[in-house]
Amino acid sequence: MSVNAMGRIRLILAMLLSPVVAAAIAAIIIGILVGGVDAMSSCYDPPYEHPCGAANFSDMLHFTGVASVLGGLMGAVIGWPTMLVSGLPAHAYLTRTNHTHLWIYIILGLVIGSLAMIVYFAIVGDLIDLLTGEGGWLALSGPLSGTLTAGLFWLIRRPDQMSLA
């Protein structure tokens, strides 16, 4: 297989996998953070099945599965269009200008993910909640997913190892 063909395959894999996998990981991380906060908060509306809403291991395992599937679906719905509209053009520009360091991709992923979350909240009508802080933990999903997507994209595509020919 030629180097160009292998590069195209890696690009397609990076484009398809990174938004979905990153959003699934982000959903699990945010869910664990929210669960940790809920477990530490005081109980106002007893009776809870577990003390103060803390989940047991089987609840957390179930949650992880559900969060990864829902996160992956959101990665497909939001991540793929964002990748096509912003991520791939940014990648083309960065490779053309030979700016292929991981940290550049991660910072750009953070920015693009944040903008994608703002656009998403504007479309669904919750932009005021996001801007006033009422969006809560969900507001972290864009920047976190964007950062993870960019990192995964870079690891799969490895633009630093591309030939300039």
Model confidence pLDDT, tens digit, residues 34-77: 765 555 455 555 555 555 555 566 777 777 888 889 899 999 99
Distance CA 142, CA 148 (A): 10
User: What is the total residue count of the chain?
Assistant: 165
pLDDT value of position 47: 54
State the amino acid at position 89 in one-letter form: P
- The domain spans of the chain are 3-161
Cβ–Cβ under 8 Å, residues 118 and 127: yes
Q: Is 165 a residue whose pLDDT tops 50?
A: no
Span 67-83, pLDDT tens digits? 889 899 999 999 999 99
Cβ–Cβ under 8 Å, residues 21 and 75: yes
Q: Is 7 a residue whose pLDDT tops 90?
A: no
pLDDT value of position 88: 95
pLDDT value of position 43: 53
Q: Is 25 a residue whose pLDDT tops 70?
A: yes
Name the more confident of 17 and 67: 17
Span 124-158, pLDDT tens digits? 877 777 777 666 777 788 899 999 999 999 999 99
* C-alpha dihedral (37, 43, 47, 51), degrees to nearest 10: 50
pLDDT value of position 100: 92
